[in-house]
């Protein structure tokens, strides 16, 4: 990422236990907790995914939703759920569900 960085100071209240767990994990991975939160907020405000067919990454904001299946269409190859067979679609569905749980809502 090569954008001008200006940092803001934030005060927030987080569940003590979750914070301790996160701190421990972050220490193991040598990332500051603030970096984790920043990364999540970045993802939350503009989710980035990888196309399940061509593998190119794209932001959900640059993709169109397929009117038929309601999934994001890959801007590079145009694939959506309509082009997948049942087994693959099921796998992708549950992978995407992790994202949606994280984002507390549908990805679109």
- List residues binding Zn ion (CB under 5 A): 51, 53-54, 66, 68-69, 74, 76-77, 80-82
Task: Give me the least distance between CB of 86 and Zn ion, in Å please.
Answer: 14
Which among 83, 5, 20 is positioned nearest to 51, based on CA atoms? Answer: 83
CB of 70 to Zn ion, least distance (A): 7
Q: Kindly state the smallest distance separating residue 43's Cβ from Zn ion, in Å.
A: 19
By C-beta, is 36 or 69 nearer to Zn ion?
69
**Nearer residue to Zn ion within complex by CB, 41 or 54:** 54
Whether 27 and 79 have beta carbons less than 8 Å apart is answered as no
Residues 6+ apart with CB under 8 A from 75: 56, 58, 62, 63, 64
Closer by beta carbon to Zn ion, 22 or else 66: 66
Residues 6 or more apart in contact with residue 70 via CB below 8 angstroms: 81
């Amino acid at each position: 990422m090569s954008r001008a960085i200006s940092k803001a100071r934030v005060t927030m209240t987080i569940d003590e236990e979750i914070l301790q767990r996160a701190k421990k994990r972050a220490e193991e991975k040598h990332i500051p907790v603030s970096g984790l939160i920043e990364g999540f907020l970045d993802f939350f405000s503009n989710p980035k995914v990888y196309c399940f067919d061509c593998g190119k990454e794209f932001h959900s904001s640059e993709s169109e939703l397929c009117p038929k299946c309601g999934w994001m269409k890959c801007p590079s190859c145009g694939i959506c759920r309509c082009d997948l067979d049942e087994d693959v679609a099921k796998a992708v569905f549950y992978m995407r569900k992790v994202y949606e749980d994280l984002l507390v809502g549908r990805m679109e």
